[in-house]
Homo-oligomer: A and B are copies of this chain.
Amino acid sequence: MATGITAQELAEHLGGSLRHCPPERLLSAARGLDEASIETVSFLSGAKYRAKAQGSKAGLILVDGRVELEGVPTLVVDQPHWRFAQVVALLHPEPEPNWSGESIHPSASIAPGVRIGPQVTVGARTTVAAGCVIHPGVHIGEDCVLGEGCELFSGVVLYRRTQLGERVRIHANTVLGADGYGYTFVAGRHEKVPQVGWVEVGDDVEIGAGTTIDRGALGATWIGSGTKIDNLCQIAHNVRVGGHCLIVAQTGISGSVTLGDYATLAGKVGVVDHVHIGARSMVGGNSVVSKDVPEGAFVTGYPARPHRQWMESQAALSRLPGIIRKLAKEKQAD
């Protein structure tokens, strides 16, 4: 972690002007408006989250010149999202990979009795607890933590800082911790917003083969205890999946979605970003969820609506060609 930078230094670095902020304020991390504190930097892009920014605890918020927040410490810049990406890169630099040539890094800590197949690599400072089984060809990055009794099958990749609870099973070629899909459009180019978070998985989670779970942009992407995820699912950055959920094959969950406990997403479901799916709800196969789903609801379709309503619509749709023919005939008869 960086030790921080003053508001004044940041203003000079980004070429902006401070308002309501003591220039000597020390800032040590980038955070969203919700998770902000006096030592952290956030940003406001457009007017949508203006109220949230007004109430935020951030030590400094990057804004563009059109936004005026009363008494809130801001740094006025052009393109606040792009400037924020630069702040992330500055305050959260990714360490250079440091491969010793040895497959298991000497600073990794592997509990006695852990079984490890050939061709496995384990990064610096990673700890693997007792009872774990690591199949051939697994690649575990730096600073990961594996709880007791985990089993990783061949080809699993854990990016740096991935944290697994106890008895987590991950099937072949699944990837935890790749960068989220985060860009900001600047001068005709999609500029990368650095992704510096991690993936955190509870106890007794099983994840199928070929699934991808991206790390959070700044904090964690989070999978609750007891949840079971099938093959070829995509879980984007900052998603929070509750406990004991079922996520069936080829489902895709967009960024910052939250799932309550015991939610079920049947196969091939898509979920639009920032939606909340209530506890004990059920989403039918191949549906696209585009707004919040209440607790205990059963929704289906594209866009997803109450299952019964969707069934009625589909039944009506299959009768529609006949109805249109009949209306045309009646017209002629008039």
A residues with CB within 8 A of B: 96-97, 99, 101-103, 115-119, 121, 133, 135-137, 139, 141, 153-155, 157, 159, 169, 171-173, 175, 178-179, 181, 183, 188-190, 192, 204, 206, 208-212, 214, 226, 228, 230-232, 234, 236, 244, 246, 248-250, 252, 254, 267-268, 270, 272, 285-286, 288, 302-303, 305, 309, 312-321, 323-324, 327
Q: Which residues of B contact A249 (CB under 8 A)?
A: 181, 234, 236, 252, 254
Q: Which residues of B contact A288 (CB under 8 A)?
A: 268, 285-286
- Is there contact, CB below 8 Å, between A157 and B155? yes
Q: A175-B171, A210-B212, A212-B210 are in contact. Are A118 and B136 (CB under 8 A)?
A: no
Distance A211 CA – B309 CA, assembled complex (angstroms): 35
Of all A-B residue pairs in the complex, the 5 with the closest CB atoms, nearest first, are A139-B154, A178-B209, A121-B136, A157-B172, A171-B178
- Is there contact, CB below 8 Å, between B181 and A228? yes
Distance A208 CA – B234 CA, assembled complex (angstroms): 11
Q: A121-B137, A206-B192 are in contact. Are A153 and B178 (CB under 8 A)?
A: yes
- Is there contact, CB below 8 Å, between B139 and A226? no
From the candidates B103, B244, B313, B321, name the one contacting A312 in the complex (CB within 8 A).
B321
- Is there contact, CB below 8 Å, between A97 and B117? yes
| Nearest CB of B to A116, in Å | 8
Q: A154-B139, A250-B252, A267-B252 are in contact. Are A118 and B102 (CB under 8 A)?
A: yes
* Nearest B-chain residue to A327, judged by Cβ: B323
- Is there contact, CB below 8 Å, between A246 and B210? no
- Is there contact, CB below 8 Å, between B270 and A270? no
- Is there contact, CB below 8 Å, between B172 and A208? no
* Nearest B-chain residue to A121, judged by Cβ: B136
Distance A83 CA – B208 CA, assembled complex (angstroms): 24
- Is there contact, CB below 8 Å, between A320 and B318? no
From the candidates B157, B230, B231, B305, name the one contacting A173 in the complex (CB within 8 A).
B157
- Pick 22 A–B contacts, CB within 8 A, sort by A: A102-B118, A121-B154, A136-B139, A139-B172, A169-B179, A171-B178, A175-B209, A181-B231, A190-B228, A208-B214, A212-B231, A249-B252, A254-B267, A267-B270, A270-B286, A305-B318, A309-B318, A312-B321, A316-B321, A317-B317, A317-B320, A323-B327
Distance A137 CA – B327 CA, assembled complex (angstroms): 65
18 more A-B residue pairs beyond the given contacts A97-B133, A286-B302, A312-B321, with a C-beta to C-beta distance below 8 A: A99-B117, A102-B118, A119-B121, A153-B157, A157-B173, A159-B172, A172-B175, A178-B208, A179-B206, A181-B230, A189-B204, A190-B228, A192-B206, A210-B212, A230-B234, A232-B234, A303-B314, A315-B321
